[in-house]
Amino acid sequence: MRVARSAGGRYAVVPGTAVAPAGRRGAVVRYMVEVERGLPFRAAEFAAEVHRVLNDRRGWGRGRTMRFVRVSRGPVRFRVSLSSPALVDRMCAPLVTGGELSCGQGGRAVLNARRWGIGAVTYGRDLATYREYLVSHEVGHLLGHQHEQCPGPGRPAPVMVQQSKSLYGCRPNPWPFPKG
């Protein structure tokens, strides 16, 4: 999907909530989803995909160490923000994203809408899996994880490898805990 270099320049919070998985184990982590006005994506669909990825058994809440709940107001641990390339450049500064990359800093996972729409060469035509990686990687930064390196040719890339740039000899992997 084609995404213009810039859109409205302001975020709209996706209304509503999405509950955490059932159970009592794991800390409840409140987060918010926002989409830059003027982007060609359905905000509710984007929010649902983010929620699914965050609560997947292969994701950061593995073993219910964390359970993610989406809210539209009140205090949150972080925000996931779908952003035009121009807004990504602004929100991620001083990091240089060149209108191509995303970032996770300052309590916000700033996801590049161009990447959300077309993916990355490293994932080929598998846009759905690339989107899982994008959410997992940038939220990983907000949870305190730093970049990692490929552990060896042909092995699955740790989710904190900068897979949008290169796989560095590894295979694509969108999950922090791929074996669940």
In a domain, 6, yes or no: no
Domain housing 23: 11-142
Q: What is the pLDDT of residue 25?
A: 81
pTM of the full predicted structure?
A: 0.95
Whole-number pLDDT of residue 1: 74
Residues 6 or more apart whose Cβ sits within 8 Å of residue 108: 78, 79, 80, 81, 91, 142
Q: Is the pLDDT of residue 54 over 80?
A: yes
Tell me if 163 is assigned to some domain: no
pLDDT of residue 65: 83
The answer to whether 91 and 83 have CB atoms below 8 angstroms apart is yes
Task: Note the pLDDT tens digit of each residue in 58-75.
Answer: 999 876 689 999 999 999
Domain CATH number, residue 21:
3.40.390
pLDDT tens digits for range 95-128: 999 999 999 999 999 999 999 999 999 999 999 9
